[in-house]
Each structure stands twice: as structure tokens, then as C-alpha cells.
Amino acid sequence: MTSLVGPVPDGWTEMPLGDVCDVVAGPSNSMIRPVEAEGVPINVIAPKHLQHGRLTGSTTIFVATDASERLDRYRLAIGDLILVRTGDLGKQAIAFAEHDGWVVGTACFRLRPTPGLDPRYLLHYLGHSAVRNWIARHASTATVPTLTLSTLRTLPVLIPPLENQTTIGDVMSALDHKAALHREIVQVTEELRDTLMPLLLTV
């Protein structure tokens, strides 16, 4: 079988994303308008919070109680994926327990995989170069690249047997963890260098 990402074993299938995920576009800006007093705090995710397949933070804002309730359909659960909708397309991240209840922002999509689709596998599938190219080709050519909800739902998703998905998720997640450790070492080393140089000049 030939798929979006190339030849794959017989018995694997390919389905539109909308058939294997509940895909929701982030709320409009009017739905997350901040209030000045007595608001309910919510954590809102923007594209800048998606780095290397992980959520690196959020922006906390306060909204009216009724507005908070209307945002329930945009809240994250464990295993949900977040995908950039406008701007820096091709970035994605996965939600863990600490992100439960956070709200996807206007410029993001929330993807909730069906039980037969491993979220970690889908995370890494979305990072495949062929998938990223598909997204780039199907985005609008406006000043700010934008992917529509209807277009994203047609994205072809390769579905291996669940045990293969789990293996792929395990291997890729382990590599992600190692890469994150290396990035942390680089950051700490650069900070040490910047701190040490002025001290050496005063010896």
C-alpha cells in the first residue's frame, strides 16, 4: 500500500483525520475576552506554547463565569493533541495530566483521538515531513498561513495496528526525551558561559 508518507505494509489503512479524531477549532477571541475583576482563571494555549512536541506553558486570563462555562468544549483532556491553526503551522503537542482543563486558543486546533488511535503515535505522525508538507500545501496563501477546520479533517492519517502504534510511540517518545535533555544541557552550558566570562575578565 502507498500512503501519504510512502509505501507501508499490507493491512495498514489510511483514513481522514476527521474519521479518527474529534477535531475542534479554538474559540473566537470574543469568547475569551478578559474581565477586570471577579473573573474565573483559565489557562489559554497559543502557538508560542508549543515547542518540540510539548506544551511549555500557557497564558492565564480571567473571564466571566458564564464565559468559562461556554469554553468547556475547548478544554483539554489527557491524550488530546494541540495543532497550530494560524501562523507557525506544523507545530503540535500532546496534553498530559497537568494540562487537563486548559483551553486551546483561537490560533489552535484540539484533536481528540478515538480509542483505536494512540495519541503519541498521532503526535509523531503529524511531525512527519510528508504530513508537514501536506499541511503547508493545503494552507491558505494569505499573509498569515491558516489551515481551515474542514481541510484539516481531510488530512490522510496512516493507521497501523495498535501494537505498532504503541511501539512507534514508545521509540519516538524516548528519543524526544533524550533530545529534551540535550537541549537542557545546552541551555545550562550557555548560561554558565555567559555568567563566567565577566567573572574571568575581573580576575
Is there a domain that residue 200 lies in? no
Look up residue 8 and give its three cell numbers.
Answer: 507501508
Position 192 in a domain: no
Phi, psi (rounded to 5 degrees) for 131 = -70, -40
DSSP labels, 158-173: EE--HHHHHHHHHHHH
> Is residue 96, in this structure, part of any structural domain at all?
yes
Q: Which of 107, 105, 149 is nearest to 17 (CA)?
A: 149
Nearest to 106 by CA among 43, 46, 152: 46
- 114-147 pLDDT, tens per residue? 999 999 999 999 999 999 999 999 998 778 899 9
Range of the domain at 81: 2-160
- In a domain, residue 36? The reply is yes
40-69 per-position pLDDT tens digit: 999 999 999 998 888 999 999 999 999 999
pTM of the full structure? 0.86
